[in-house]
Amino acid sequence: MKHQFKQRIIYKDTDAEGVAYYAHYLEYFEQGRMELLRSLGISLKDLKEKYNKVFAVTRVECDYSSPAYFDDEITIKTELDKVSGAKIIFKQEAVKDDKTLVSAIITTCAISLKTFKPTRLPQELTALLK
């Protein structure tokens, strides 16, 4: 499964030189993951309310290749890489003019809100993800 959306680099997301601040890509990638799951019919609000589970990011591998600047329009691309047990691994990219600016592999884990420990994904969600 894949999803993408456009993101404009706004002033608050840049440093003094007008370059997109590196940490904001993690926010863009978060939005990409949520939109991908939503496009599959998975509501994180329902996951929390119905199953008492949430996702936590457990690992981020991020490569910064080229900057984006104030007022640039970039595309955030997200795809599912692997689903197993409690984990979902995503591959993500920030792209401008077919050039990858930032790439990431982000691992998330379902956790129980009762124990704050990893817990298997509900069967019906796993079916939607495969």
Give catalytic status of residue 13 as yes or no: no
Mark 91-125 as b/e (b = at least 16 C-beta within 10 Å): bbbbbbeeeebbbbebbbbbbeeeeeeebebbeeb
Return the pLDDT at 108.
97
Closest CA to 14 of 3, 5, 23, 6: 23
Residue 128's pLDDT band, with cuts at 50, 70 and 90, is confident
pLDDT value of residue 58: 97
CA atoms of 78 and 112, how far apart (whole Å): 25
Summarize the confidence of residues 20-25 as an average pLDDT.
Answer: 97
> Mean pLDDT throughout 27-54?
94
Catalytic residue among 15, 46, 63, 81: 15
Pairing of strands 87-96, 53-64: unpaired
Residue-by-residue DSSP string for 14-72 = B-TTSBBPTTHHHHHHHHHHHHHHHHTT--HHHHHHHHSEEEEEEEEEEEE-S--BTT-
**Can you read off the two tokens belonging to residue 15?**
């440093």
Asked if 90 contacts 35 with a C-beta cutoff of 8 angstroms, the reply is no
Sorting pLDDT into bands at 50, 70 and 90, what band is 20?
very high
